[in-house]
Structure 1
Amino acid sequence: MTADQKFRHWMRTLIVLFIVLFLYIIIADRHAPLTTEGRVQGYVVQVAPEVSGKVTSVSVVNNQSVNKGDVLFTIDERKYDIALEQAELSLQSAYEKEATLYSQREAAVANIARAQATYDNAHREYNRLLKLSRQKVISQSSVDNAFAQNQVAHATLKAEQQNLKVIEAQLGDKKGESTAVRIARNKLEKAQLDLTNTRVLAPSDGVVTNLQLEVGTMANTNMPLLTFVPTGSMWVAADFREKSVANLNESYHALVAFDANPGGVYEFDISSRDYGVAAAQQTPNGALTKVEVNNRWVRDAQRTRVNLTSQDNMPSSLFVGSRATIVVYPQDNMFWHLMAQVQIHIASWFHFIY
């Protein structure tokens, strides 16, 4: 074979390989798409105190792993101790006031009985004198005086009855349920809660990161002071071209290679696919439509996010924001499963270089 024939042979071979590779890329992008646009995502909790005060101690260091309930930092509790003692005294005073109200109720009941007797007597006297007046036995002035005494006695009875209602309204349905006691008890519970909240605890198992908190910092209510990443909250978010995952369904599986772990390949389940992207989000603003202008012959493909989760723990070297390469494939197709394995392992080996 001459040199010219060898050259033609190699050129034909390269052209065939190029065509085969080109066709494979087109077909594989529909059945086993691969993307390098993947990141480890995780919930980030901004820990904020529920009370204000000066930070007196910080119990953790940067990037420390903690368990749920561990103390992260403490706020000066002296004023909350005083508030708690004041609330306890207020509750005691409320109980004493309630006891006084019970005594007043007994007195009010006795006053009603006395007023009722006085009214009954005045009413009978008025009726008796009224009969005598009709017989012209007594003067009209005597009847008028009796009528006035009857009205006064009736008004006194009504006043005593209303006084009893006022007292009973403050007492509530049973002992310990008076308005004053309930208000004082709520204040006591609030003071106890505030004192408890001077110790800020880890909301779950996780890692404290980007710690910039020092003793002496003035903490304000609901103002974040510490960043916390819960353990087990991380997942992988992969951005695919929209046409690549148009056929994505529950039969698909994912293989992931992390930049932080060259040579390693991990299996993931497809959790969900986002239903939109920020570029298409509309906010009512009273303005006209903004038309997107693109002067390129071939515009960039729109990407959509696919979220991946794993039943196994992720490598400890990963963090929120770690980069990843992902390939998805149908589990019920052995060919594409094999091709996905080949693609992801090649990508994983390349991570030794870049």
Structure 2
Amino acid sequence: MAETPEKTPADAPSKTPASSSDVEPAPHPGVVPAFRSVRRPSGGWRRVAGVVLGPLMVLSGLASLLFVAVSLDVRPRTLDAAVRANTIGIAPHVSGPIVDLRVVDNQPVVKGEVLFVVDPRPYAADLADAEAALALIDMEIAALRAGVVAAARAVEEANALLVEAEAEAVYARLYLDRVRPLLSERFVTPDQVDKAATEADALDAAVTTARARIAAREADLAVAVASLGDLDELPDAIPTEEATARDVDMVEARGGDAEAVGDRPSDVDPATLNARRVAAAAAVAKAELYLDYCTVRSPLDGYVTNLNIAVGEYANEGRQVFALVDGSVWYVMANFKETFLSFIDVGDEVEVYLMARPSERWRGVVQGVGWAIDLADGRDIPRTDLPRVDPTLDWVRLARRFPVRIILEDGPEVPIRMGETAAVIVLPGEGELPPAQFPWLRSLFDDLDLDD
């Protein structure tokens, strides 16, 4: 037996008299009554959420816009940046065909490494000629030195002969003094006395001759010394006046007559010989230098670039053959709007990101801010040595950009290349880079290899 549901007060008929408008008409027999929509009360939580969240979102957007604007001023940044490096043009100091090429394009090299060799045979022949000319002059100098030695020995010989003549003359005078008293006592004949006197006079004359011979030999020595000059002090050249004065002093110091020596003919000018010797030595040094220039070496640690030659190519003196990229210093040239320059100072820390590795960052330091740019403005004028940053002009006048040089000092141990696109963020007043933002996102990039 089914239970009859108990009527609730809500199901009970209302005892409140109903108005005529609230009374529903009875349905027509045979017509199915239609459902009438029930009007929900206006308001509710949705309206409250809209009233609260709408202004909150507007305020959040304004706050975010203000934060971004302040952050851009406090930490200037730009995407208009690229990696740079210094390049060195490699040009030989001598001309000739390349007989040995020891590098290839894009090869890393170290300082002092041989790059290529120019044919050294002509320069080796020039060195041989210069050495031969120097050897001939050295032979002349050796002959002059031998003449000085011979003259000095002749002076010594003349001095010895003088001593011998003086001894014989003294003995002859003593003998004459002994035999003269014996003439009165008839122990000797007058002829013997005359002979002794004659011998004494002859020996006195021999002494005079020996002294004259010494003077002549000393004069010959002075001439030899004057001809040799100061060649022992080469390779320093001596001016003609100074060389002549020194020669005169040397002659007079040895007791000779400088004027008499000067009157004697000489085929050798010491000052000229000095100059010839110096010139010959300089020619040898120059030939050695040119021969060494035939081997072209790397002046720095770097990378070969733009190598488009082969063995047999004729290399001209002073004309660039290829270039080297200096691998010791890398920097980023970032073009900042002029409105940001007042927030950038030399020495500021910089965050640097490369497009090739967006998840890795480099530490940089502002080295300097450009003081001038090329104001060609599209006109056809000769290029200057100033950095050129072409402005983007539209109906709105845009701020010009100035180059800021940022030295890369620390970063991942990965190779970087000149010309890579970079993004930089300047951090004024900070002594070191702050911790990286969103480390979990960077780790995700590394795990998924999205940076490749």
- TM-score, length of structure 2 as denominator length: 0.55
**Distance change (3 Å), C-alpha of 1:4 and 1:169:** same
Which of 266, 269, 279 in structure 1 is aligned with 2:365? 269
Which of 167, 170, 191 in structure 1 is aligned with 2:272? 170
Q: Contact between 1:74 and 1:200, CA under 8 Å: does it hold in 2? A: yes
The residue correspondences of 1:12-51 to structure 2 (distance < 5 A) are 12-51=55-94
The residue correspondences of 1:191-270 to structure 2 (distance < 5 A) are 191-249=287-345, 252-270=348-366
Q: How far apart in 2 are the matches of 1:320 and 1:238?
A: 13
Secondary structure of the 2:410 match is coil
**Distance change (3 Å), C-alpha of 1:269 and 1:60:** same
- 1:86 aligned partner: 129
Secondary structure of the 1:325 match is strand
Question: Which segment is superposed worse, 219-228 or 98-107?
Answer: 98-107
Secondary structure of the 1:262 match is strand
Q: Contact between 2:114 and 2:298, CA under 8 Å: does it hold in 1? A: yes
Secondary structure of the 1:44 match is strand
Question: Which segment is superposed worse, 78-87 or 41-50?
Answer: 78-87
- 1:322 aligned partner: 420
Structure 1: 5+ residue stretches without partners: 115-156, 172-177, 286-293
**Distance change (3 Å), C-alpha of 1:73 and 1:17:** same
The residue correspondences of 1:262-301 to structure 2 (distance < 5 A) are 262-279=358-375, 296-301=394-399
Q: How far apart in 1 are the matches of 2:451 and 2:278?
A: 70
Does residue 302 (structure 1) correspond to residue 392 (structure 2)? The answer is no
User: C-alpha offsets along residues 165-199 of structure 1, whole Å, 9 cap, x if unaligned?
Assistant: 9713224xxxxxx1111111111111111111111
Q: How far apart in 1 are the matches of 2:85 and 2:131?
A: 44
Q: Contact between 2:83 and 2:331, CA under 8 Å: does it hold in 1? A: yes
Q: How far apart in 1 are the matches of 2:297 and 2:327?
A: 15
Match of 2:420, as an amino acid?
A: S
* Aligned-residue identity in percent: 25
Q: Cα RMSD between the aligned structures?
A: 4.1
**Distance change (3 Å), C-alpha of 1:93 and 1:333:** closer
Q: Contact between 1:260 and 1:317, CA under 8 Å: does it hold in 2? A: no
Q: Contact between 2:101 and 2:311, CA under 8 Å: does it hold in 1? A: yes
The residue correspondences of 1:145-160 to structure 2 (distance < 5 A) are 160=262
Query: Per-residue deviation at 1:311?
Result: 3.0
Q: Contact between 1:49 and 1:220, CA under 8 Å: does it hold in 2? A: yes
Q: How far apart in 2 are the matches of 1:226 and 1:332?
A: 42
Does residue 189 (structure 1) correspond to residue 285 (structure 2)? The answer is yes
Query: Per-residue deviation at 1:275?
Result: 1.9
**Distance change (3 Å), C-alpha of 1:185 and 1:315:** same
- 1:132 aligned partner: none
Structure 2: 5+ residue stretches without partners: 1-43, 152-214, 221-258, 383-391
User: C-alpha offsets along residues 73-97 of structure 1, whole Å, 9 cap, x if unaligned?
Assistant: 1111111111111111111112123
Question: Which segment is superposed worse, 313-322 or 224-233?
Answer: 313-322
Q: How far apart in 2 are the matches of 1:352 and 1:182?
A: 70
- TM-score, length of structure 1 as denominator length: 0.69
Match of 1:88, as an amino acid?
A: E
Secondary structure of the 1:222 match is coil
Q: How far apart in 1 are the matches of 2:80 and 2:277?
A: 62
The alignment covers a number of residue pairs equal to: 291
Q: Contact between 1:56 and 1:74, CA under 8 Å: does it hold in 2? A: yes
Match of 2:292, as an amino acid?
A: T
**Distance change (3 Å), C-alpha of 1:58 and 1:332:** closer
Does residue 59 (structure 1) correspond to residue 102 (structure 2)? The answer is yes
Q: How far apart in 2 are the matches of 1:72 and 1:314?
A: 30
Q: How far apart in 2 are the matches of 1:66 and 1:190?
A: 28
The residue correspondences of 1:338-353 to structure 2 (distance < 5 A) are 341=437
Q: Contact between 2:108 and 2:303, CA under 8 Å: does it hold in 1? A: yes
Match of 2:317, as an amino acid?
A: T
Q: How far apart in 2 are the matches of 1:19 and 1:313?
A: 36
Q: Contact between 1:262 and 1:352, CA under 8 Å: does it hold in 2? A: no
Q: Contact between 2:130 and 2:284, CA under 8 Å: does it hold in 1? A: yes
Larger radius of gyration: 2
Q: Contact between 2:88 and 2:326, CA under 8 Å: does it hold in 1? A: yes
User: Which one has more relative contact order, counting CA pairs under 8 Å at least 6 apart?
Assistant: 1
Q: How far apart in 1 are the matches of 2:408 and 2:108?
A: 21
Q: How far apart in 2 are the matches of 1:353 and 1:301?
A: 33
Q: Contact between 2:104 and 2:304, CA under 8 Å: does it hold in 1? A: yes
Q: How far apart in 2 are the matches of 1:305 and 1:86?
A: 55
Q: Contact between 2:357 and 2:451, CA under 8 Å: does it hold in 1? A: no
- 2:16 aligned partner: none
Query: Per-residue deviation at 1:316?
Result: 3.3
Match of 1:308, as an amino acid?
A: I
Q: How far apart in 1 are the matches of 2:289 and 2:49?
A: 87
Match of 2:370, as an amino acid?
A: D
Query: Per-residue deviation at 1:264?
Result: 0.8
Match of 1:227, as an amino acid?
A: A
Q: Contact between 2:329 and 2:408, CA under 8 Å: does it hold in 1? A: no
Q: Contact between 2:360 and 2:412, CA under 8 Å: does it hold in 1? A: no
